Structure 1
């Protein structure tokens, strides 16, 4: 880069990485110079291109950071704007930039439409994540229509082909990690459900095919509505990833004088493959948690024990046993409120059922508290049952199309949270429960996507205009979460959506823990958690020990396996512990005590994923921040190769990040750091021993 170009070039610096962008001399866009380890921009750009582009424009091949269809008419724009006359191809010119090594704002303006665009960057201190978002302002005198409203384009050099890693799933099978090799063309994942959804995770990773465990770039979106991520590799070896909102209800209107801030897209870099990239995301999400990154309580949830048959007697019977085991929080799940004997009614009428709690709900909570337990409650405040009192009084509060039937899912409708009066009802309902009752844990569920893209008769009013239903719902959801956290800082909030359908970076900043799946079968859950930890930190992983078999792999596993598995994040129990034997209860109490000894390391430690659920070795390593303690959770996933009747050797788990010259102790066993990294920690599986918790102390 020559001296003249350097005047319009900026480098943002993270803990170990840097991100350099520049405005070319023509001033029509901002483009990437280099993204990688410190010093990567000191040399020719690995992504620049100024050669011929036959049948294309120069912008179609340039590493543009954010471009309209005027800059990228054929290769895929980030933003498409349409005027009142139907014209497109909005273009702009560079105006100014302001920033430092942590933040940058670059402004462009279009003199024809009056569109002012500010492209923002931020790298939070001590992280290697670059946050990007765009602020659009219509300074003209006519409405502008946003046909596409992406947040960012990320450019990655993939000269030998791109390996794209993503996570697919369905209900009860979320976070399945998979990969596709992209020679040329595109690959797209997303959701049109008004939530991130079960089908895909708003997360993607890109590597060059020649270096599968080398430099890796990741992208994610902080948006709790519909979304889309597209990776496209061009003929010149550049893979460009577009990240942003999906607009299932059609274009967005930007009236004259109005502004719109698009969701934050986050980019991450690691030189150490997917495993290293996971640690980058973990560090970032721990910063999002801030002062709320304390030890999560060991909880018991009553759902799988009683389902909708909730009453004070059976709940207290469970709570007494849970307290004896060492549980810290008791959560009553669905079925506690009026009109809820099953999933056909009750939602919206959030009053404790006096028939189920004859002495009063507060008296019941007091009995739970007297056992030394905190109390938690399940709610699903965005949904309403057709048979509820709320729906009979406010049928206009649900998403609907005038003259069309409403689509029920799980026998319920969805409230239009974008309406101010609905948002006020939802907030006041949950806030009221937290103020009226002694609640310290809140499980917020969401069991159906949005199907009707309208507001019924109200949407037919002449002055109603085009409403951003998705955006309004998400904005009010986020605002309610923020207000609840502000007003009830002691309450732990768990985000659930029929399992893992609402996990994104925006929710990671507003909730304390995620429920990743309704599937608690041990081997199924192992695969779910393996994928989850690639995109999310352990403090967000709620995991229960239950009696459930797997839906996709029903092979039985021991109680030890289930406990060690649930210890990989935030430990919970969901089994019907009334039927556990005295021996099982004693074993459970031992595991819970052991978890309490290591959970600070689980929450704060450096994570290494070893092997995987489809391999003979499968483990997660957590290294304490001071490197003095290493926790290893390991699981037997396959056959036993003769179960001791034929020659075999123990499985070896290669550990990472240790001091080769140091010695580490586990009980009577001593190992050098060199041995543990080069040869591995031995684990010996038998027909009765299928999981292991190893705590290594540096001598």
Structure 2
């Protein structure tokens, strides 16, 4: 039985004739894993093990004796944080140009400190120092024992009398041992987010990165999966899930060395970001978050989900609002009367909140399309003569809450803000402006711009205290990166990409200090910005503008490896040819919302939608807080199936969808083995989300044991007439 304890850190000394020859062994543990570091004869600290937790602690120091992988050329491979330019000839984690122009750094182990934050979390700090320049590097490892998650980051301190330049400054440098490695990463574009690609890693370096500045996940997120020795499986094998908590440019290197082991170096992308660090100042890198599973990727996902809900996502164990959005009902074409009429539709449907999307603002350059108005955040007097306050009150009278769309980091050239403050805009002074969605990025490295963006949000809440929700969008990438603010101060443009994101976080921190509980959706033209640093400030995120339900099954499936359902916004829209039931069933797999014209629904569809929301309200806590199990992979089968199980294993909900209507596929060919239930409990299965007078084909009186359901399985009878099937599974006592 694994003991219930917190992170364990110890120093183990191997007997030797002199202290100088004694290696020091440092060990970090979570519930399932052991991470071991050890010094060499020169006191360089190296990673010698990361794997299943070892029972006999006295044997930890002997791990290195069993690996014949050291010679004069390759002894650096497993450095805890590989410096550049001294004894290293591999891809570095740290590259410094010192004040005298020397580009070499050496790092010697100095000390370890352990701080127990609570019964689950312990922070370990390891100090390394350059013996010549005295540059200090602190490695932080925060271990979440029960969740099997480690959060790692680095602090670099310049102790020289003059500035140094950080050419590369990674968050973490892992060293992994296996015979083979398979990397799953995710390609994408607008509407095509999170498309997985699994590839065997071979000698050399594989890089995933972004240089987009903002909306940095558009082509590739800072999120990946590593499978050891064989391609990834759901419930078997060693799997590492990793993700960088950073909303800006990132770079993750995967280097297979000559011993066929893997070096993973993750952090801020050093591209165009040589960062000057003043004397006696500290640079803190973003967090790299990872979990190691020995029971497949499903177990790893559940680790991350529990960690995220408990420690990272804003109000991760709290409530969420089911909303009706006007975007697809009106786009930019609306007025006050049309919006207030939609409130009644929202109330009739049964949602909690109405969200007014793009197009409500600007007067000199009214926001009637996406070519004008961004930056001028005051109500358009023609569309909304009585202002947002009137809409807030009218929504409340109707019995629902009111929320608003914002894109405060951006500006249209056709705007009063651009005319007044062209120096606030990110652009090259000697090059033509280049637009993305007819807009440019505001310079958040500038404190005045930060004050302005905070003021936009603060003014909205001050004038409209009943405002209940914000959708925070970010649609443009950064072209012609240049900060007039940094130039005026004589500072390096190499700071821009980093300082922009720091400025963004500063604004969000100020918002959360003053408005700690207001729900906010992290949106970026879809999944252009989804990471665990931004999610400190947001209750949820928008995975993709692509809401076609078949596409969404795959998009949501891939996000589910890293992010819990409580944070994943799924909306029912008119995209695709699927019936309302299918669209609604797909959207119920996370945080449900609607973007439809309610008055266009048939009587039967309206009644179905109302019933579906009632069912969702009864089951949403299981979906949001339950353990998720992916049952049937849509990439390998004609159906997709997953389920959520509550903490007591007494209630569950199972989602099933037909994703490939192939010839002669008339029903689910075989039973699906369920997961996560108690084998000794008995369960009753019932189908929900059916139209009135449409009986289920399933036997609702059947009671089966958890053992039967997880061993033999259950057939939901998905077919071309029953393309989506939702089942509730309840314990019978």
TM-score between the two structures when normalised by the length of structure 1: 0.94
Q: Offset of 1:641 from its aligned partner?
A: 4.5
Tell me the C-alpha RMSD between the 2 structures.
2.2
Q: Distance in 1 between matches of 2:157 and 2:196?
A: 39
How has the CA–CA distance of structure 1 residues 474 and 14 changed in structure 2, closer, same or farther, with 3 Å as cutoff?
same
Q: Deviations over 1:344-393 (max 9, x none)?
A: 11111100112112333312221111111111100000001111111110
2:724 is the alignment partner of 1:691: yes
Q: Deviations over 1:590-649 (max 9, x none)?
A: 1111111111111110011122222223112101011110111111111254365xxx66
How has the CA–CA distance of structure 1 residues 476 and 391 changed in structure 2, closer, same or farther, with 3 Å as cutoff?
same
More displaced, 621-630 or 16-25?
16-25
2:169 is the alignment partner of 1:149: yes
Aligned 8 A contact 1:18 1:39 in 2: no
Question: What is the number of equivalent residue pairs in this alignment?
Answer: 685
How has the CA–CA distance of structure 1 residues 255 and 448 changed in structure 2, closer, same or farther, with 3 Å as cutoff?
same
Give the aligned partner of residue 226 of structure 2.
Answer: 206
Give the aligned partner of residue 570 of structure 1.
Answer: 591
How has the CA–CA distance of structure 1 residues 246 and 76 changed in structure 2, closer, same or farther, with 3 Å as cutoff?
same
Give 1:115's match in structure 2, choosing from 135, 157, 164.
135
Aligned 8 A contact 1:205 1:219 in 2: yes
Give the aligned partner of residue 58 of structure 1.
Answer: 75
How has the CA–CA distance of structure 1 residues 567 and 507 changed in structure 2, closer, same or farther, with 3 Å as cutoff?
same
Give 1:308's match in structure 2, choosing from 303, 309, 332.
332
Q: How is 1:401-412 mapped onto 2 (pairs within 5 angstroms)?
A: 401-412=428-439
Question: Secondary structure of 2:575's partner?
Answer: coil
Give the aligned partner of residue 183 of structure 1.
Answer: 202
Give 2:620's match in structure 1, choosing from 599, 604, 612.
599
Aligned 8 A contact 1:21 1:34 in 2: no
Q: Offset of 1:46 from its aligned partner?
A: 8.1
Q: Offset of 1:462 from its aligned partner?
A: 7.4
Q: Deviations over 1:223-256 (max 9, x none)?
A: 1100011212223231111110102323111122
Give the aligned partner of residue 406 of structure 2.
Answer: 379
Q: Offset of 1:300 from its aligned partner?
A: 0.8
Q: Distance in 1 between matches of 2:204 and 2:728?
A: 47
How has the CA–CA distance of structure 1 residues 3 and 653 changed in structure 2, closer, same or farther, with 3 Å as cutoff?
same
Give the aligned partner of residue 289 of structure 1.
Answer: 313
Question: Secondary structure of 2:671's partner?
Answer: strand
Q: How is 1:60-459 mapped onto 2 (pairs within 5 angstroms)?
A: 61=77, 63-70=78-85, 73-99=88-114, 102-124=122-144, 126-159=146-179, 161-195=180-214, 196-210=216-230, 212=232, 213-287=236-310, 288-289=312-313, 291-338=315-362, 339-437=366-464, 438-456=466-484, 458-459=485-486
Q: Distance in 2 between matches of 1:71 and 1:15?
A: 37
TM-score between the two structures when normalised by the length of structure 2: 0.89
Q: Distance in 1 between matches of 2:307 and 2:316?
A: 14
Q: Deviations over 1:152-191 (max 9, x none)?
A: 11122221x1111112211101112221111322221111
Aligned 8 A contact 1:29 1:67 in 2: no
Question: Secondary structure of 2:533's partner?
Answer: helix
Q: Distance in 1 between matches of 2:211 and 2:373?
A: 27
Q: How is 1:435-584 mapped onto 2 (pairs within 5 angstroms)?
A: 435-437=462-464, 438-456=466-484, 458-461=485-488, 463-466=490-493, 468-549=495-576, 556-584=577-605
Q: Offset of 1:575 from its aligned partner?
A: 1.6
Q: Offset of 1:94 from its aligned partner?
A: 1.8
2:40 is the alignment partner of 1:34: no
How has the CA–CA distance of structure 1 residues 234 and 37 changed in structure 2, closer, same or farther, with 3 Å as cutoff?
same
More displaced, 593-602 or 631-640?
631-640
Question: Secondary structure of 1:498's partner?
Answer: coil
- Structure 1 runs (4+) deviating above 6 angstroms are none
2:35 is the alignment partner of 1:19: yes
Q: Distance in 1 between matches of 2:259 and 2:13?
A: 24
Q: Deviations over 1:196-229 (max 9, x none)?
A: 3211111122122347431111221111100011
Q: Deviations over 1:71-91 (max 9, x none)?
A: 663221101111244422211
Q: Offset of 1:650 from its aligned partner?
A: 4.4
| Unaligned stretches of 5+ residues in structure 2 | 1-11, 16-20, 117-121, 686-699
Aligned 8 A contact 1:303 1:574 in 2: yes
| Unaligned stretches of 5+ residues in structure 1 | 550-555
